[in-house]
Amino acid sequence: MANIFFLVLRRIRLPLILLITVYSVATIGMTLIPGVTPDGETWHMGFFHAFYFVSFMGTTIGFGEIPYEFTDMQRSWVLLCIYTSVISWLYGIGSLLRLVQDETFLHAVSRRNFQYSITKIDTPFYIICGYGETGEMINRGLCNLGIQTVVIDLESERISSLELDNFLTPPIALTADITDPNNLIYAGINRPQCKGVIAVTNNDHTNLKVAVASKLVNARVKVINRSEIEDEAKNMASFGTDVIINPYLTFAHRLKQLTTKPKLYRIQNWFINQYSAETISEELEEQGLPKGRWIICGYGRLGKAILELLNEHVESITIITPDPIASRAPDNTIVGRGTEAETLQEAGIENAEVIIAASDDDANNLSTVMTAKQLKPDITCIARANKEANNLLFSHADCQYVMRSSSVVANEALTTISRPLVTKFIKFSSSLTEEETTELANKINAVTGDKEPVTWRLILDAKHSPELVDFIKGAQAITIGQLTHNTRVSRGNCIPLLLLRNGVSRVMPSDDETLRVGDQLLVCGPRGIPLLPQHLQNNIELLDTLVNNNTKYIPLLRWFNRRRNHSKN
Amino acid sequence: MNLEKVIFAFFIILALSVNTGFFISGLVAPDSLQAIELALSIIVSLICTVLKFGDRTQFGSTVLASSLVVDLLLIAAAILWGVASHSGAGINHAQTATILSLAGGALVANFLSVVLLIIETSQLRR
């Protein structure tokens, strides 16, 4: 506020001095020029009357000539003063209006408003740097979860587009250069409510700068970074960036999962992509990718990642790239873009089962997919959509699986932020055997009726589930099975996925495991209805009925029954 | 040499001089106070105040504060004078004393401004 106030004062200095000068000259002039009373005596106007007269003359109100009629000399002075005072008023008001439209002034005002909003935040919030496709998705996800966000982008157009969207918790936006650490401090990185910084600009180096600055300014905040270049990612990891998301590597991992363990892929896919579904055909999702011959068109970051991860798991991978020497492609690489039939035939498309269009040009990728489909209609097509908007074209081109790097990054980031246990589950679930995975998938399908499940986390502490904690503290053991399944209320049944106890996580805990205070349990169940543990966490009567089998309805009998149960234990 | 600085120093010193003039004339001849001198002091002091607007240095804010004090005291004196001389009975001794004491207070503040100005100038390194 003080800044704006001083800025205004500085700008209106000249008009103010002009006004003071004009008024004082006019007033002093009025006192000096002699007038004549009706009696014919000479008189001099006092300062009081002179100032009074000049005040209404200057604003052109005009109450007339007081206290006596003016002489011609006085009138000519007044004439002069009227014009000078009107001009100085116009000048003053003009300067003020110009100031209001002034770029510097508007900037100061918007900065001030931004800072004010930041200091008003009293809930945990995240700073999102870069409001591109990825930033937009993350922001929408966080806003829908009711988490406050602060968005910073260099381009004011993107920030203004933010204002037009209708969000549940409106984000606080600022147009600023995020590579300047001062802007991070402006955005409230030092405030205790700041939970993390998400750097998802399209420039890796900018993301790196943000990560360094955030960790130096406030080591406590979580830093989540998008990084597409391996070197930069290593650099980020070296100073403790918490989460580094490389969309190409992540996608290559998914492809590997889809090839080697399609069931597990399906389960993980349910849990990761709860915010925006992946573009994948159902057939492919159920059967997984064939392990035969693969063709990759374009040997960039995605192509390299896929080759590295999948080379051992499939029969053969043929690379097509326009410049194999510069991109350091393997020896048997075919030179070309992969958009024309000749190159694809040379790569042996007749015998291939999977073709991946992985170049950084959407038009080329589309062309590759269409040509491949013409040459071999039953081939499985995987394409990289560099722009989110082109996703539509790829699904029209009958592409079975589309990689949208923005949504890959956004889903990863949102899962890390809002559901830490899901991240743990994904990490440890690779250790599950084929049978266990199949069993889990069947269980989930049985509970949800072949629909996508939702996950939910039960936190056993006095804040989140007081009644359940009291129940356990009352020396009544409750097992995971009792908490998640019940034959009498089968609608809310769910499946335990992961138990976190004293920092150690256990995937697929057994139903006989007894819960302790301080545990965290990840469960999944059908979408849209309250799950059994959600009911139980804060309902002592329901716990009594379902867990202790207290079937009495009348309160007195219930109480008596409960006492008897207690004494038995 | 900076013209802005010259103008600012000019007004600060002028404010002190005019104020002193009014104060001395009041002491010498309390019966014929010069209204024009008081008016001039007020005008010069107002201009000083405006000139210091927007200066965010420590020195600037102190000078701004002291010239605000001068404005306050002198305008209070002018109002008192106006009310007294238009009340019919004319201005009496007690009122003259009040006006003069207010002007004296303003003189001290004006003096302080000049002292601050000199201090700031002496701190400039060649």
pLDDT digits (tens, 9 = 90+) for A323-335: 888 878 887 788 8
| Listed ranges A96-105, A552-561, B87-96; the one with the highest mean pLDDT | A96-105
A434 has pLDDT over 90:
no
- Chain B residues near residue A48 by CB distance under 8 angstroms: 82, 85-86
The pLDDT of residue A303 is 87
A275-289: pLDDT as tens digits: 667 778 777 877 888
Mean pLDDT of A94-120: 87
For the range A433-436, what are the long-range contacts, defined as Cβ-Cβ under 8 Å and sequence gap of 24 or more? Answer: A434/A261, A434/A263, A436/A508
Chain A residue whose CA is closest to B60: A6
A554 has pLDDT over 60:
yes
CA–CA dist A379, A293 (Å, integer): 11
The pLDDT of residue A58 is 81
A2 has pLDDT over 70:
no
Mean pLDDT of B26-32: 85
Q: Are A308 and A328 in contact (CB under 8 A)?
A: no
- Give the residue numbers in A contacting B (CB under 8 Å), as ranges: 6-7, 9-13, 16-17, 20-21, 24, 27-28, 31, 46-48
Q: Is B92 left (phi over 0), alpha (psi -120 to 50) or beta?
A: beta
Q: Between B94 and A61, name the one with better pLDDT.
A: B94
Collapsing DSSP to helix, strand or coil, A510 comes out as coil
CA–CA dist B124, B126 (Å, integer): 6
Distances (CA, A) of A1 to A105, A114, A189: 12, 12, 21
Q: Are A458 and A518 in contact (CB under 8 A)?
A: no
**DSSP-assigned letter for residue A332:** T
The pLDDT of residue A569 is 56
B126 has pLDDT over 60:
no
Give A29: exposed, middle or buried? Use CB within 10 Å, 0-12, 13-18, 19+: middle
The per-residue b/e assignment along A356-368, b for 16 or more CB within 10 angstroms, e otherwise, is bbbbeebebbbbb
Contact B78 A47 (CB under 8 A): yes
CA–CA dist A67, A28 (Å, integer): 17
B123–chain A nearest CA distance, Å: 25
Ranking A74-88, A204-218, A444-458 by mean pLDDT, the lowest is A444-458
Mean pLDDT of A312-340: 83
What angle, 0 to 180 degrees and rounded to 10, lies between the N-to-C axes of helices A47-58 and B58-85? 110
Per the CATH hierarchy, to which homologous superfamily does domain A429-568 belong? Answer: Regulator of K+ conductance, C-terminal domain (3.30.70.1450)
**B75 shares contact with chain A (CB less than 8 Å):** no
Contacts (Cβ under 8 Å, ≥6 apart) of A54: A23, A26, A27, A30, A81, A85
The pLDDT of residue A444 is 83
The pLDDT of residue A551 is 72
Chain B residue whose CA is closest to A29: B36
Per the CATH hierarchy, to which homologous superfamily does domain A248-418 belong? Answer: NAD(P)-binding Rossmann-like Domain (3.40.50.720)
Mean pLDDT of B35-61: 86
Distances (CA, A) of A441 to A257, A289, A398, A528, B84: 15, 18, 27, 19, 97
Q: What percent of chain A has pLDDT over 70?
A: 98
Q: In this structure, is the dihedral angle defined by the CA atoms of residues A273, A279, A284 and A286, taken in order, positive or negative?
A: positive
Q: What percent of chain A has pLDDT over 90?
A: 9
**B46 shares contact with chain A (CB less than 8 Å):** yes
Contacts (Cβ under 8 Å, ≥6 apart) of B85: A46, A48, B91
A568 has pLDDT over 70:
no
Amino acid at A550: N
B64–chain A nearest CA distance, Å: 12
Q: Between A475 and A164, name the one with better pLDDT.
A: A164
- Chain A residues near residue B56 by CB distance under 8 angstroms: 6
The pLDDT of residue A11 is 81
The pLDDT of residue A87 is 92
Contact A10 B53 (CB under 8 A): yes
| Listed ranges A384-393, A528-537, A544-553; the one with the highest mean pLDDT | A384-393
A-proximal residues of B, 96-125, CB under 8 Å: none
Amino acid at A114: F
The pLDDT of residue B125 is 64
B89 has pLDDT over 60:
yes
- Chain A residues near residue B39 by CB distance under 8 angstroms: 24, 27-28, 31, 47
Contacts (Cβ under 8 Å, ≥6 apart) of A325: none
Amino acid at A408: V
Sheet containing strand A293-297, strands side by side: A279-280, A401-404, A380-385, A352-357, A293-297, A316-321, A334-335
Amino acid at A536: L
Tokens of A201: 């600009």
Give A286: exposed, middle or buried? Use CB within 10 Å, 0-12, 13-18, 19+: exposed
Tokens of B14: 């002028």
Amino acid at A39: D
Q: Which of A503, A477, A493, A504 is CA-nearest to residue A526?
A: A493
CATH class assigned to A2-101: mainly alpha
Within this chain, domains A2-101 and A429-568 share the same CATH topology: no
Tokens of A420: 């830490």
Q: Is A450 left (phi over 0), alpha (psi -120 to 50) or beta?
A: left
Mean pLDDT of A172-182: 87
Nearest to B56 among A6, A17, A27 (CB): A6
Determine the Cα angle at B50 with ends B44 and B52, to 5°: 105
Q: Which of A313, A288, A304, A328 is CA-nearest to residue A249?
A: A304
What CATH number was assigned to the domain covering residues A122-245?
3.40.50.720
For chain B, the domains span 3-123
A310 C-beta neighbours (distance < 10 Å), count: 22
A501–chain B nearest CA distance, Å: 57
For chain A, the domains span 2-101, 122-245, 248-418, 429-568
B108–chain A nearest CA distance, Å: 24
Mean pLDDT of A234-241: 80
Query: Number of helices and strands (H, E) in chain A?
Result: 25, 19
CA–CA dist A461, A298 (Å, integer): 52
Collapsing DSSP to helix, strand or coil, A497 comes out as strand
Q: Which of B9, B30, B22 is CA-nearest to residue B107?
A: B22
Mean pLDDT of A407-436: 84
B99 has pLDDT over 70:
yes
Pick from B22, B43, B52 the residue to mutate for testing the A interface (most A CBs within 10 Å).
B43
- Kindly report the average pLDDT of chain A as a whole number: 84
A457-484: pLDDT as tens digits: 888 888 888 888 887 877 677 888 877 8
The pLDDT of residue B47 is 92
Mean pLDDT of A439-454: 81
